[in-house]
Chain A
Amino acid sequence: MRRLKTLSDQIARTRREFLRDATGVALGSTLLRSPLARAASLPRNKKVVVITFGGGARDQETFAPEGQENVPNMLRDLIPRASFFTQVVNHGILGHYVATASLATGAYETFNNFASVAPENPTVFEYYRKDLKRPSSDTWVVAPSNGFNRIGESSHRSYGMGLGARVILPKHLLTAAMSSGHTDYEHLLRDNYETPYFTPELAGGGEVELQQLEDLLKLSVTDFKAHARTLSSPDELSVYIARQLMRQVAPSLLWITMHDIDIAHAGTYSLYVEGIRRTDRLCTEVWKMIESEPEYAGKTTLLVLPDFGRDADGDPGGNGFQHHRTGDPLSRTTWLMAVGPGIREGVVHDRPVDSTDLVPTIGSIFGFSANYSQGKPIQEIA
């Protein structure tokens, strides 16, 4: 544990030094201000958008000096306006679904990553809806189709059934919209490498998806298909759907799970880096959407974080960027970026933060209590 802590500290320092050099941001430890002052600057009708920068990106390809070329948009447009946490440590299982579910519950879930099961602990969506008596339309998850269909609602007996988020799976939506051949859309239906065929079936089949498309997103099948043809990846499709959701439904709590980066499992470095560059661009696009949509502008906190990292080049138990199997410090240590009203701009915090702190932090922003979370609110954001 001490080794993990020491190495995580080193990783954090590298990120901080780089960010200071690259963008002129300040170190945050001396910049904490009174919660009262911050509360006074916060708008009412708050909204939160979470983006998981997935699936799994390493420091050296993102915020370390040699990674800067892969995240130019976030460096230019987001970092100067953000509080950036350089040391977010994930102590849980490093599988994408189980780790993302752990992020969403604030507790380290231990289920089989490849099983289509609900998280055991209440999700952030359930806390939000139950405590604040919000309707289901106010919390949405946009996620890749594999496995993530159960992420919106836990099996917890005090929460669970009927209290979760609505989950939209863009690839399912696209499949349902296509009456015949997939030829023009294959690139948007790419599955991740680890689970190429294991797409869970949803209740209601394609009809539910098409109903979502027309009733909620106000999109005709023809328009949807025409726009989808202009996109280049599943994550682009996800952001397109998120944009429609923001415009037509305007949920207060929106969770977008990116996954293009996980092509790294196929061992192709160029495709992994391409995925990071695309995700960097898409994160900035989401922030621009937030700023341009009246329902979101000026009252939305954007939180961006990877679900975890990937194995270090030097760990003999792994094969570098390809996997996240060793549980080494590099694969466990990531970052978090927070942008929005009341959040200090251009500040870097290198104290350790736990992945499970995300949910209690969102709880503090909205005013609900994440009773079963193992984390605690990040004071600099909450």
Chain B
Amino acid sequence: MLPSELKAEQFSAYPPGSKALAREYVETLRDLPLSFVPGLLRELIEYDYKFPAERRALEKELNNLAKLSTDDRKQWMQGFASISTSSKLEHFDWINLPAQFVEQLSAHLWATHQLDASRAAATSYADRLNAAVPPQEPVIPRLGIAVIGEGVDSYSEPLFRKLRPHGAYFSKVNPENGLDVLLDAVAERAKKHGGDYLHWYIDGGEPGAYDKTITGVSYERLEPVRNALLQKMHSELTKPGMGPEMLRTVMAELRPADLGMTSSDPVLARFQVKVLTEGSGTQIFSTSFAQWAAREALRRAEPVILLVRFAPRQRQKPMSEMLAPNAERPELDPVGSLVDADMGAYYNWINQQRLTGGEKSSFLAWFEGHNTAVLIGSTVPRGTESSDPTTMKQLLSWIS
């Protein structure tokens, strides 16, 4: 079916908040092309499990689309309307399975050489939307912190090469109680400037003690969930006829309860499951988990502070073996993990800078237990170096 045939009752399987929102805007949705609507529904169907920043953005987007005149809406949708779909896509249950539809649409765009047109349409739409409904500025300038290299005694290669041109490099940082100082700084900010899901601590290993006002995610503490997921993947993969695309569909449908997860915070539980089921490598490599969780936290929750600590990941083994549930503790690769985390820290900074207020935001990356760090901020001179003795508190004071 096409969006023009949409009826309010077709959203009956949606969770309550999503259902109400979809029904409120069904008339608007009817006026939009098939190459666009399922992408919007993919977000809408998750409304009940979204962070406050995402909810606000989605509500504003729908409201904006509803307010557009018919002619303006046509103009906004011109790029999407020119994309040709297929009868197979039209017959797909894109109302109830919008994410799966988007995957199939993506394959169709590649195969029909329409990917560039789709990118152009999406970029144009995003530009118009940002101009019409500017994203909300953060309550305070954002601060990102990356702690890398846990478990590495010495490393002679240069670190932070991608971050250093954007800030100041310090080579004599006193590492004593460094992580505690950073966690205290996060807690202090969280107390001063409250707000749900605005202050995050993601740890690729066992987390340090942190204040309960902080939203915490830990790879180590998710071990039972990861094992349940690997068990699930393993049993699915051994079924006859199972292929990578079908596996992706099965994983996309998993919910926290399917993996034995009980949590008083269904939004955070759903976030963690999505990191594990939608991220590549997040199920088996702690460094991939920390980087992807940080990316998704920034993109979705738009935190004002995010501390990410990368921990050693397991050493590479055959993929089939890593994906098999195993009770044994894996052998670790601290140096390889340091290289992963160095790049991960750079990606955290890039992803933070994509958010509003990037020109005022700050970033600190530190080689845990060692003397080197990079500090980036609007008041920090770019591409500079300092060999003066410094403490972690001093570094933080220069960007707060």
**Interfacial residues, chain A to chain B (CB-CB below 8 A):** 1, 4, 66, 91, 93-95, 108, 110, 112, 114, 186-187, 189-198, 263, 265-271, 273-274, 313-314, 316-317, 319-323, 326-328
In contact, B282 and A327 (Cβ under 8 angstroms):
no
In contact, B320 and A271 (Cβ under 8 angstroms):
no
Given A320-B347, A327-B119, check contact A267 B320 (CB 8 Å).
no
In contact, B316 and A267 (Cβ under 8 angstroms):
no
State which of A91, A94, A266, A270 has its C-beta within 8 Å of the C-beta of B281: A266
In contact, A268 and B318 (Cβ under 8 angstroms):
no
Interface centre among B244, B287, B343, B344 (most CB of A within 10 A): B343
In contact, B292 and A265 (Cβ under 8 angstroms):
no
Bound together, the chains give a CA A313 to CA B166 distance in angstroms of: 15
Bound together, the chains give a CA A186 to CA B34 distance in angstroms of: 46
Chain A residues with CB under 8 A of B287: 267-268
For residue B100, CB closer than 8 A to chain A, the reply is no
In contact, B350 and A267 (Cβ under 8 angstroms):
no
In contact, A114 and B243 (Cβ under 8 angstroms):
yes
Chain B interface residue count, Cβ-Cβ cutoff 8 angstroms: 47
**Interfacial residues, chain B to chain A (CB-CB below 8 A):** 107, 110-113, 115-116, 119, 161, 237-238, 243-245, 279-282, 284-285, 287-288, 291-292, 295, 313, 316-321, 323, 333, 335-340, 342-344, 346-347, 350, 354
For chains A and B in complex, what number of residue pairs have CB atoms within 8 angstroms?
111
Bound together, the chains give a CA A66 to CA B281 distance in angstroms of: 26
State which of B245, B280, B354 has its C-beta within 8 Å of the C-beta of A265: B280
Bound together, the chains give a CA A179 to CA B343 distance in angstroms of: 42
7 closest A-B pairs by beta carbon, nearest first, are: A267-B288, A266-B281, A270-B339, A267-B281, A269-B343, A270-B336, A196-B319
CB distance from B334 to the nearest CB of A (A): 11
Given A114-B243, A195-B244, check contact A269 B111 (CB 8 Å).
no
In contact, A270 and B337 (Cβ under 8 angstroms):
yes
In contact, A327 and B110 (Cβ under 8 angstroms):
yes
- What is the chain B residue whose CB lies nearest that of A109? B111
Bound together, the chains give a CA A317 to CA B110 distance in angstroms of: 15
Bound together, the chains give a CA A190 to CA B346 distance in angstroms of: 29
- What is the chain A residue whose CB lies nearest that of B317? A186
In contact, A270 and B340 (Cβ under 8 angstroms):
yes
Chain B residues with CB under 8 A of A314: 350
Chain B residues with CB under 8 A of A271: 316, 336
State which of B244, B282, B346 has its C-beta within 8 Å of the C-beta of A267: B282
Could you name 12 residue pairs across A and B whose Cβ atoms are closer than 8 Å?
A: A110-B110, A187-B318, A191-B320, A193-B280, A197-B320, A267-B340, A268-B281, A268-B285, A271-B316, A274-B336, A313-B346, A327-B116
Given A193-B319, A316-B354, check contact A266 B245 (CB 8 Å).
no
